[in-house]
Amino acid sequence: MTQVNPDPHTYGYMFVPRNRITSMFGSSADVLQAVQDLRTLGFADDAIELFVGEEGADTLDLPADHHGVNARRLRNMEAFMVLEAGDSHRRADDAMRQGGAALVVRMDGHEALKDEVVAALRRNHGWLVRYWGRWSIEAFD
């Protein structure tokens, strides 16, 4: 079963979802079909995470409100220096707080499937689709 609202900060605050593709969904039917399509591409359930609603937003803590002053300062500096990241985090947090869902796909070992993953997410009405690389953010909208 795909993980729903897991704690991504088990080993410390995850500042950037590196080597992951993220997408937002407004419909549970769309996100569930996207998960099925990812499984068809060969992704195991432990490589797929869903963050849903207020609980998902609180768990992800994209503004770093619950991870101390230093994490909040870094997040604010990131928003200022890397507009794409700050905008993406703000829009994702807002969408989850309005009942949406964030889907996170860990690409470890599946980098060659990046285009197919993006196509599956977009085909299922995913938006704010991003690939978070080591030194870059790739936007697909």
Where are the chain's structural domains?
3-23+40-139
pLDDT at 80: 46
CB 103 within 8 A of CB 50: yes
Confidence of residue 97 (pLDDT cuts 50, 70, 90): very high
pTM of this prediction? 0.79
Token pair of 99, please?
């009942």
pLDDT at 43: 97
Q: To the nearest whole percent, how much of the chain has pLDDT over 90?
A: 50
Classify the phi-psi angles of 132: left when phi > 0, otherwise alpha if psi is within -120 to 50, otherwise beta. Answer: beta
The H or E element spanning position 49 is strand 48-52
Token pair of 21, please?
């593709």
pLDDT at 13: 44
**Structure confidence by residue, pLDDT tens digits, 18-30:** 899 999 999 999 9
Q: How many CB atoms lie within 10 A of CB 93?
A: 21
**Structure confidence by residue, pLDDT tens digits, 38-92:** 999 999 999 999 999 999 888 887 656 665 655 555 655 555 445 455 567 788 8
Question: Is a pLDDT exceeding 90 seen at residue 109?
Answer: no
State how far the Cα of 117 lies from the Cα of 135, in Å rounded to an integer: 20
